Structure 1
């Protein structure tokens, strides 16, 4: 019997490209999901089931986090092009293993930056400075 975990790999970083430009690697990626809103309709004389009608698809915002590095300048340059007018772009997120092998790839369409949060720094409690990028999108692209 085949081992279902044989192809499973632990992703240690997430490489991000926006409009083909490499934005570097992130250590955390949260929010790769979508939900179809379902509307329920009851039909008179039909007691066997309630109709489940698909509605709009809702894509959650994606949050990417990493330590601040020189790659952070690439984000700043991208933000500078997005101030006005804001234009939607395409992005790609690749889950990577420690040896650089791509585990999975997600393409995104209609991407805009929603929020960037820089590091909180204090001399009293030194720790790694990190940044978080939050993006919104219109959906997933077929990357296969």
Structure 2
């Protein structure tokens, strides 16, 4: 009898860059797109443009995590970029199974922060303070474990 397969849940993952592993609440923006070019040669007997692959385009990756006392990791990295220190990082995002084994790995190349947002503060809320970091990058390589 064939083994029944189930999709992998999305709530068990890890994010790391360099020697830093940070627990995140949410990761979004693992997007890759190929722009297309429309082309028609002058002697083409068909009156239609052809679509051919063009440049790759990558979305912005958004990372959200809880605020911890004495943790300035996001802010220090953002400050380094703002003061023209060339600090790009390769980010590894790994989707894990029930036994903490990698199922899918996304390697984000040459990432750097473009926007940082502190938590929304509200006096009558019963929620964790969450900060957000948006990253620009130069590509994503997706691989199996």
TM-score of the pair, normalised by structure 1: 0.79
Give the match's secondary structure for 1:26: coil
Within 1, Cα distance between the matches of 2:44 and 2:141? 42
Unaligned runs of 5+ in 2: none
Shift of 1:97: 4.3
Contact 2:66 2:131 in 1 (8 A): yes
Contact 1:90 1:110 in 2 (8 A): yes
When residues 99 and 128 of structure 1 are mapped into structure 2, their CA distance, relative to the original with a 3 A threshold, is farther
Within 1, Cα distance between the matches of 2:12 and 2:24? 6
Shift of 1:60: 0.3
1:43-93 CA-partner distances (Å, limit 9, x unpaired)? 333328632222111100011112223584333343343332242221111
Contact 2:24 2:63 in 1 (8 A): yes
Match of 1:33 in 2: 31
Unaligned runs of 5+ in 1: none
Matched pairs, number: 142
Within 1, Cα distance between the matches of 2:4 and 2:39? 39
Q: Which moved more, 1:52-61 or 1:123-132?
A: 123-132
Is the aligned partner of 1:115 residue 2:107? no
Moved over 6 A (4+): none
Match of 1:60 in 2: 59
